[in-house]
Amino acid sequence: MYVMGNVTRNTIAMVLAGGKGERLSPITLNMPKPCVSFGGKYKIIDFVLSNLFNSGLKKVYILTQYRAYPLNKHIKESWSKWAGLGEFYETISPETSSDGEEWFKGTADAIFQFLRFIECSDVDYVAIFGGDHIYKMDISQMISYHIVNQADITLAALEVSAEEARRFGILAVNKDFQVTHFAEKPQEPAAIPGRDTCFASMGNYIFSTKKLIEVLKEGKRKHADLDFGKHVIPMMLEKGDRVFAYNFADNVIPGMRQEEKGYWKDVGTIDSYYEANMDLVNVEPQLNLYNYKWPILANQGNLPPAKTVFDEDGRRGQNLNSYICGGCIISGGTVRRSIVGSRCRVNSYSLVEDSILFNNVEIGRHAQIRRAIIDENIKIPDGAEIGYNQEQDLLKGYTVTESGITVVTKL
């Protein structure tokens, strides 16, 4: 663990939050992946923003693009209003702020379009993080590691098996974790010296500011679709710049349990998203949302507490092994092993099992819901059955994954 005073004071952060999240379709048809709900009350982007905030990084630009309105609204209603004097959490989008009025063409191009924000910031370091993963991380430790190594760029690295490594961009390193080569989804991934595991790039970077400005300007002259993995990192390695890997497994946050160490989820598909949510309702989930020393912050709103009503045989409001968010009323129905977002209502004689309800969902009387994801603002009619017959679900226009998860969105 590397900790060196207040290293975050000299650092600005830029969060890449413009991705479509096409593999999460149809959930992402009307919102970007970072704006998708997770764990009922949170948005996916709340995890990286909480990591930045808890690490002391409070000068943050969030670069939005695809279906930007709901994400911009979320940032404005929560994160922006928490900012104090000299601090900011601000969204910027290419369609409204870029001189060229152009969409981002690559991850590094997105930063290049707003290079003026960095050039006028007078900071020594720039943290560039993605906005669409679930994890906890003390980013100040990574910045300290970057400073100790006198690095030009430090890449957050996830230790994975050789089999898993074929799905990632892989960093070849020497014994000091200095990166010697980078390869996208290699068939024969390079192992970490002395281990049988590999370093996968997490897409999170710490740059020394002068070097970032230099490589972006040089790279943009060569590539219109400038990308960190495809262009910038290989270019820096070719030039002999100091490129280091930071082992995410070495990162320690206050109150962390041993089983949570190294937790990182992409939630890039419906099935991985569903499984990560369902882990939360286990007796001891791998991701602990009850660690008050490293809270995941979210827009609390002015919602009343959740409540259950009716206690009669056959008509009993009850929640079993579930997450129930504020403003919910479980009115004579049963919720079991599920996550229920804010302002939902589950009416009498209905059953919701192993499911995820987004905000403001209403389940009608006698409805039966199993292994389903219900999008926000949807009313399930009385007596409906979802998740019991895949053919019928498909005929109704729902999406059904190979593993049998039914996704209900507005048609």
Q: Please give the annotated binding residues for alpha-D-glucose 1-phosphate, written as ranges.
A: 169, 184-185, 201
- Cβ atoms 383, 373 nearer than 8 A: no
Among residues 389, 386, 408, which one has the least CA distance to residue 397?
408
Alpha helix segments (H runs only) across 65-222: 68-77, 79-82, 94-97, 107-113, 115-119, 139-148, 162-165, 209-222
Q: How many CA atoms lie within 13 A of 276 on its CB side?
A: 21
Residues tagged in the binding site annotation = 169, 184-185, 201
Task: Look at the chain and count its residues.
Answer: 411
Q: Tell me the DSSP string of 82-107.
A: H--TT-EEEEE-HHHH-TT-----SH
One-letter amino acid of 301: G
Distance in angstroms (rounded) separating the CA atoms of residues 29 and 259: 34
What lies within 8 Å, CB to CB, of 236 at 6+ separation is: 152, 153, 211, 215, 243
Distance in angstroms (rounded) separating the CA atoms of residues 373 and 192: 39
Q: What are phi and psi of 217, to 5 degrees?
A: -65, -40
Alpha helix segments (H runs only) across 365-407: 390-395
Residue 181 backbone zone (phi > 0: left; psi -120 to 50: alpha; other: beta): beta
